[in-house]
């Protein structure tokens, strides 16, 4: 239990997807113009993240790892399918994004319209792919840990995009040098926020 | 009907190849593929390897998708694109593991993340699906190179100022250190990559007034 709590806090603050690894920057920069849209995207990303990473954990454990196919019988025990992990992960991701897209279209057409192209683009959202790959690299022991890690990372990304959207809403009223407006200043603010987040490094629960 | 064939390097094709290096730079102007720019650039060598991998995948993915564009129903095109890109990335990953294992370890998950690099997907979606294979190949190549240039510039400054080295060799003479010069360790940390990219965008947009945001 303690371990799960530790993973949760760590994945939100210490290993924050945006500030520590820069995952999902494309949609982070492009969608963080208003808090409302950012909120919707954050929820969707968190949902897709938790479902995909959990499912990918199962796939890694029972299909992809060296010797993972032992449950099918002795002759499969030596098979190593780990080179297929990219293609399997991306397929799982793409299908869950499709489900999320249909759900958002049905229950919140306003959000669906404001997200536009960025909803299907979650399929190539680095944070989710990165989450799956980190899950594989760090070899979480059971599905609970993997799901907690995914949930924490999703929340971390969500908090980061809302924070940036709130700052950018205020930023409209300030006098920034013209070439720096938009993308440029967003990068620099994210960099400064990243430095602040580095102070979480080394926290042990 | 005697249609004249377009020369292979016509002005239009050259623009496809060279435009992304500056005016349509995928990183600085289109804001695509940022994730890996920031994460792999602490040293020049991984940045260079990453740039080469992305150029190869971007060019080949554009070429293949453009060749297949008439046979793929548009409803399932995203999944087909992902499969083609994932296939190319798996090949790149295996090659890196075989020939430059050290760098492949440093890049860790970021090779896999080439699949989700928005540049490749974005260019396939925006260009290759509507154009012939040869211009698509040039477009993919150009965008890959535009991305690579930014990657190498960021990697250059971060390694030079952060570690006093280039390509793993010390370039700042010992006499500087004796005179009190210090490496700026902050350059090696992730946030500085964002700030450097921000500054690159600033400089680039001061020269190209027409891409400035409103």
Q: And the tokens for B200?
A: 């690159």
pLDDT at B2 (0 to 100): 44
pLDDT at A151 (0 to 100): 93
Could you tell me if B128 and B139 are in contact, meaning their C-beta atoms sit under 8 angstroms apart? yes
Task: Select from B24, B27, B34 the residue whose CB has the most chain A CBs within 10 Å, as the one to mutate to test that interface.
Answer: B34
Measured CA distances, B45 to A97, B94, B100, B152, B195 (Å)? 35, 18, 11, 9, 21
pLDDT at A98 (0 to 100): 79
Could you tell me if B196 and B47 are in contact, meaning their C-beta atoms sit under 8 angstroms apart? no
B 59-98 near A (Cβ less than 8 A): 78-79, 82-83, 86-87, 89-90, 93-94
pTM equals 0.80
What sign for the dihedral angle of Cα A106, A111, A113, A115?
A: negative
Report d(CA B168, CA B160) in Å as an integer: 10
Among B6, B40, B19, B8, which residue's Cα sits nearest to residue B141? B19
Nearest-neighbour CA in chain A from B8: distance (Å): 33
| Contact list, B193 vs chain A (CB under 8 Å) | 22, 191
Q: CB contacts < 8 Å between A and B, how many?
A: 146
A86 and B90 within 8 Å at the Cβ level: the answer is yes
pLDDT at B33 (0 to 100): 72
Could you tell me if A147 and A54 are in contact, meaning their C-beta atoms sit under 8 angstroms apart? yes
pLDDT at A69 (0 to 100): 72
Tokens 């100022």 correspond to what residue? B161
**Percent of residues, chain A, with pLDDT higher than 70:** 95
Nearest-neighbour CA in chain B from A165: distance (Å): 17
A185 touches chain B (CB under 8 A): yes
Q: And the tokens for A41?
A: 């995207």
HSE toward the beta carbon, residue B123, CA cutoff 13 A = 41
Among A150, A124, A133, which residue's Cα sits nearest to residue A25? A124
pLDDT at B1 (0 to 100): 39
B47 touches chain A (CB under 8 A): no
B118 touches chain A (CB under 8 A): yes
Least confident of A32-36, A61-65, A189-193, B27-31: B27-31
pLDDT at B10 (0 to 100): 67
B198 and A184 within 8 Å at the Cβ level: the answer is yes
pLDDT one-digit tens code per residue, A147-196 = 999 999 999 999 999 999 999 888 888 888 888 877 788 888 888 888 88
Range A2-14 average pLDDT: 84
Counting as low any pLDDT under 50, the low residues of chain B are 1-3, 214
Could you tell me if A146 and A50 are in contact, meaning their C-beta atoms sit under 8 angstroms apart? no
Those residues with Cβ within 8 angstroms of residue A160's Cβ, 6 or more apart along the chain or in another chain? A16, A17, A18, A19, A28, A193
B 136-175 near A (Cβ less than 8 A): none
The ipTM (two decimal places) reads 0.77
Of A26, A181, A195, the CB nearest to B32: A26
A184 and B205 within 8 Å at the Cβ level: the answer is yes
A130 and B201 within 8 Å at the Cβ level: the answer is no
A185 and B198 within 8 Å at the Cβ level: the answer is yes
């Amino acid at each position: 239990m303690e371990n799960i709590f530790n993973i949760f806090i760590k994945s939100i603050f210490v290993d924050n997807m945006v500030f520590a690894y820069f995952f999902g920057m494309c949609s982070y920069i492009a969608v963080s113009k208003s808090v409302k849209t950012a909120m919707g995207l954050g929820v969707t990303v968190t949902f897709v993240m938790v479902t995909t990473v959990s499912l990918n954990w199962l796939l890694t454990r029972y299909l992809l790892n060296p010797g993972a196919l032992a449950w099918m019988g002795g002759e499969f025990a030596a098979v190593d399918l780990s080179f297929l992990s990219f293609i399997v992960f991306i397929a799982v991701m793409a299908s869950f994004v499709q489900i999320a897209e249909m759900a958002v279209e049905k229950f919140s057409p306003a959000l669906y319209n404001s997200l536009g192209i960025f909803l299907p683009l979650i399929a190539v959202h680095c944070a989710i792919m990165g989450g799956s790959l980190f899950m594989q690299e760090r070899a979480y022991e059971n599905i609970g840990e993997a799901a907690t890690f995914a949930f924490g990372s999703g929340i971390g990304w969500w908090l980061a995009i809302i924070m940036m959207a709130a700052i950018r809403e205020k930023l409209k009223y300030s006098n920034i040098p013209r070439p720096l407006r938009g993308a440029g200043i967003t990068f620099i603010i994210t960099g400064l926020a990243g430095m602040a987040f580095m102070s979480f490094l080394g926290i042990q629960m | 009907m005697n249609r004249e064939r377009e020369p292979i390097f016509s002005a239009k094709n050259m623009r496809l190849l060279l435009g992304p290096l500056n005016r349509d730079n995928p990183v600085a102007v289109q804001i695509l593929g940022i994730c890996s720019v920031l994460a792999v650039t602490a040293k020049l060598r991984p940045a260079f390897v990453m740039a080469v991998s992305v150029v190869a995948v971007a060019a080949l993915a554009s070429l293949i998708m453009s060749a297949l564009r008439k046979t793929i129903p548009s409803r399932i095109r995203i999944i087909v694109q992902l499969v083609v890109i994932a296939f190319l990335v798996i090949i790149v990953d295996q090659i890196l593991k075989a020939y430059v294992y050290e760098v492949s370890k440093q890049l860790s998950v970021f090779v896999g993340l080439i699949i989700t690099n928005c540049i490749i997907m974005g260019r396939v979606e925006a260009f290759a699906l509507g154009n012939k294979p040869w211009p698509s190949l040039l477009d993919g190549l150009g965008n890959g190179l535009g991305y690579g240039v930014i990657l190498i510039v960021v990697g250059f400054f971060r390694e030079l100022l952060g570690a006093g080295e280039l390509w793993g060799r010390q370039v700042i003479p010992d006499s500087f250190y004796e005179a009190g010069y210090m490496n700026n360790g902050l350059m090696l940390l992730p946030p500085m990559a964002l700030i450097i990219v921000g500054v690159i965008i600033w400089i680039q947009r001061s020269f190209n007034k027409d891409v400035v945001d409103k």
